[in-house]
Amino acid sequence: MNKYHLKNLFIKITRDKNNIFFIILLVISTIMLIGSITFNKNFNEYIEENINKNINFRVLSVSNKQDEADLGKEELLSIEHVQDVYSSVYGTFLIDSNFANEDLDGKITPQYLPKSTVIHSLIGSQIGENDTGVAIIPKDFYPDNSVYEYNINAKNIIDGESLIGKEFTITYYTRKFENMKFVNDEKLTKTFTVIGVYDNKEFMNYNNDIFISQIDIDEIAKAKIPKNDNPDIEITQIDDYSFNVVVDSLENVESVTEKILEHNFSNVEPSMEIDEGVINTIKISCLVIAIISIAVIILIVLLYMRKKLIRESNYIGILRASGYTKTNVTIQYLFETIITSIITYIIGCILLILLCVILKNIVFNSFNYIGYNIRIFSTDFIIGFVILILTSSISSLYMIHMKLKSNIINLIESRE
């Protein structure tokens, strides 16, 4: 097999319109195969990087002890592996800011960053325990209420890094209970300086979630949830909110849960929980799709080769009569299959990469907060290539071997 022979084969393949349907089917199978491998790998990385390392999966929601002065906070902190305890009211306020413009409403949500929590994506400075008036904002900052509807307009995203060192102001109202309902009372403003930016996906936060110090968030919470001095009226107080208990690692969540229950706290629930069932289902689905794709590739090649070899029986007969040995014919058809598979692979890869780019830029960007990202790994493509070439070659070899059992006369005289 020399380059002229290969050129001749290439011409034969590209001019044969019967190959188009075969190539389309094989491209779809190839996309399914490499796509399932890629998705599976991305999913595993997502689980590893975004879920296993995400603080929210090691935060427990615990009902406080109303009969104790500190509501049981110190008791919770004394439990081994508990890193921090804070009120679940933090992070529930949507507040106006001076980021409002004609495209954005300026709504932001102040968040509390638990003690000892490292922000891996941090650019700039961390918030100190006694700091006030400082904030860490998302690097893709989108101060607008629409973030909760996964409706981010990319052109309105503010580059958080450009705001480091700059000030912004938030506006909120104290609340009071009047005529059996809450009403705004006094208008308050507070100025913050941006000291850093972070990737909100790291915490599964929205693009308008900003970290501020506990002192500042407490101040806002107290203003927005007024203290009720009238025992006849039952309204939710800050103290009514449960605690969020931060465990130092995912592995200790179960043991800490048991210990908290042993301390007679109630309603102990993880803030976010990994559904192992769903994860396993996704992983198994990827495996099943990959196996089905391989089976489909084998089936397609077998059927295609069967049809092709019947159609080209006369041609094979002529090759044999012209002096081609069985090995020559086998090599010729094997190379035809390999060349077709390579063409298929290249088309499949291009389409898959385009699909990934579309998914990444259109679909997953809308779900920015979940942190799912599609990355293309060269190893997946190499694995896909090897599987495609091997399965198609073996299937093809089998069909050629069966065909060459016919004698030359039958091949030449056969009619389609």
Partner 1 sequence: MEEKSKVIQLKNIQKTFHTKNKEVNVLRNLNAEFYEGNLYAVMGHSGNGKSTLIHILGLIDECDEGEYQIYGKNVKNLKDKDASYMRLKNIGFVFQEFNLVPTLKAYENVMVPMLINKEIQAKERKERAIELLSSVGLKERINHFPKELSGGEQQRVAIARSLANNPNIILADEPTGNLDEKSEREIFTLLKKLAEEGKCVIVVSHSSEIKNYADKVYILDKGKLEGENE
Tokens of 372: 């799912």
Stretch that binds partner 1, among 113-121, 240-248, 257-265, 404-412 (CB under 8 A): 404-412
Tokens of 47: 């689980």
- Cα 261 to Cα 269: distance, rounded to the nearest angstrom: 11
Shortest distance, position 349 Cβ to partner 1, whole Å: 26
The Cβ of residue 215 has, within 10 Å, a number of other Cβ atoms equal to 13
The yes or no reply on residue 317 touching partner 1 (CB under 8 A) is yes
Stretch that binds partner 1, among 1-9, 91-99, 163-171, 393-401 (CB under 8 A): 1-9
Given 318, 353, 370, 376, the residue binding partner 1 (CB under 8 A): 318
Stretch that binds partner 1, among 93-101, 139-147, 262-270, 405-413 (CB under 8 A): 405-413
Given 94, 154, 354, 409, the residue binding partner 1 (CB under 8 A): 409
Shortest distance, position 324 Cβ to partner 1, whole Å: 6
The yes or no reply on residue 412 touching partner 1 (CB under 8 A) is yes
The yes or no reply on residue 116 touching partner 1 (CB under 8 A) is no
Cα atoms found within 13 Å of the Cα of residue 115, Cβ hemisphere only = 13
Tokens of 241: 């909110």
State the residue for tokens 């014919």. 329
The yes or no reply on residue 315 touching partner 1 (CB under 8 A) is yes
**Of 276, 143, 126, 162, nearest in space to 209 by CA:** 143
Q: Report in angstroms the alpha-carbon separations of 41 from 274, 376, 377, 389.
A: 18, 9, 8, 21
Query: Is the CB of 120 or the CB of 405 nearer to partner 1?
Result: 405
Stretch that binds partner 1, among 74-82, 172-180, 257-265, 403-411 (CB under 8 A): 403-411
The Cβ of residue 139 has, within 10 Å, a number of other Cβ atoms equal to 23
**Of 247, 239, 271, nearest in space to 56 by CA:** 271
The yes or no reply on residue 5 touching partner 1 (CB under 8 A) is yes
The yes or no reply on residue 326 touching partner 1 (CB under 8 A) is yes
The yes or no reply on residue 310 touching partner 1 (CB under 8 A) is no
Report how far apart the first and last C-alpha atoms of the chain are (Å, whole number). 28
The yes or no reply on residue 323 touching partner 1 (CB under 8 A) is yes
Q: Which DSSP symbol is given to 241?
A: S
The yes or no reply on residue 405 touching partner 1 (CB under 8 A) is no
**Dihedral of CA 179/183/187/189: which sign?**
positive
Given 171, 314, 366, 393, the residue binding partner 1 (CB under 8 A): 314
Task: Output helix, strand, coil percentages for the chain, rounded to the nearest 5.
Answer: 55, 20, 30
The yes or no reply on residue 320 touching partner 1 (CB under 8 A) is yes
Query: Is the CB of 115 or the CB of 311 nearer to partner 1?
Result: 311
Query: Is the CB of 15 or the CB of 187 nearer to partner 1?
Result: 15
Given 10, 16, 353, 364, the residue binding partner 1 (CB under 8 A): 16
Collapsing DSSP states into helix, strand and coil, what is residue 187? strand
Given 43, 150, 182, 324, the residue binding partner 1 (CB under 8 A): 324
- Cα 399 to Cα 54: distance, rounded to the nearest angstrom: 52
Shortest distance, position 2 Cβ to partner 1, whole Å: 6
The yes or no reply on residue 177 touching partner 1 (CB under 8 A) is no
Contact between 93 and 170 under an 8 Å Cβ cutoff? The reply is: no
Shortest distance, position 314 Cβ to partner 1, whole Å: 4
Q: Which DSSP symbol is given to 17?
A: T
Under rule CB under 8 A, how many of the chain's residues touch partner 1? 28
- Cα 351 to Cα 243: distance, rounded to the nearest angstrom: 49
**Can you give the binding site for partner 1, defined by CB under 8 A?**
2-5, 8, 11-12, 15-16, 312, 314-315, 317-328, 407-409, 412
